[in-house]
Structure 1
Amino acid sequence: MTIKYTKDHEWVRQEADAGLVTVGITVHAQDALGDVVFVDLPEIGKSFAQGEVAGVVESVKAAADVFMPVSGEITEVNEALRADPSLANSAPLDAGWFFKVRVSDAAQIEALLDETAYEKFAAES
């Protein structure tokens, strides 16, 4: 499964069903935010364009928008994360995922950063 990254510090993991991706925030993002205390997740069935705000993550330090990394429709949200927002800190690339998206433009996935390019970007920002 391929993982790509955005300059807004979200990750996108392509699932076995090629049209479906899982989205979360990166380790860099959760480090910058500190202890996550609340997440506002999008509504299942709602469609977003790439770059639109799809949710919010709040920590003891700040609140940050979660941007839609690719255009598509929300198919699932992580209810466990809603119940325990600290999963975004303890397992940001695993149990702390935010939502799943049925992608409307697969080319957008390919245009995202790979791990090497993201790590370089994150180190410079």
Structure 2
Amino acid sequence: MEVKRYFFSRDEHAFFGALEEALVGTSYRVFPNVRLNDLFKITVQEGRQATYARLRDKHVDFLIVDGASAYRPVLAIELDGASHGSEKQQHRDAVKDVAFRSAGLRLVRLPSRAYSAGELRERLRGELSAPSPR
């Protein structure tokens, strides 16, 4: 076993930097590559193991939390690259979409490309102030 040379893809690395810069001066913090099983608590007993199994090995690219509210999750971001056009990936994306909707946590999907901090700041202003999707 060995350590991977890079934690992020090139696009993820650039996005993370712009996202952190966009949130400077706010109480929001960013966590990358958060496993869905660490983010969600399954509250329904019926089918609990099947739900955990569907979420296993899935993560969200970036999770924004409110540092002023005990790191409460407020928004998740997925960068959708070229692979998201495949049928298999679309199914995985649909599973994530359902999980986020069910939990009442907003999930924003953005095309994988270069973003400026200003562009993300503007985009997030509306997303972070919007009520949860429940």
Larger radius of gyration: 2
Which category of TM-score, normalised to the shorter sequence, fits these structures? under 0.3
Q: Which has the higher helix share?
A: 2
TM-score, with length taken from structure 2? 0.25
- The one of the two structures with greater contact order (alpha-carbon pairs below 8 A, sep at least 6) is 1
Q: Which has the higher strand share?
A: 1
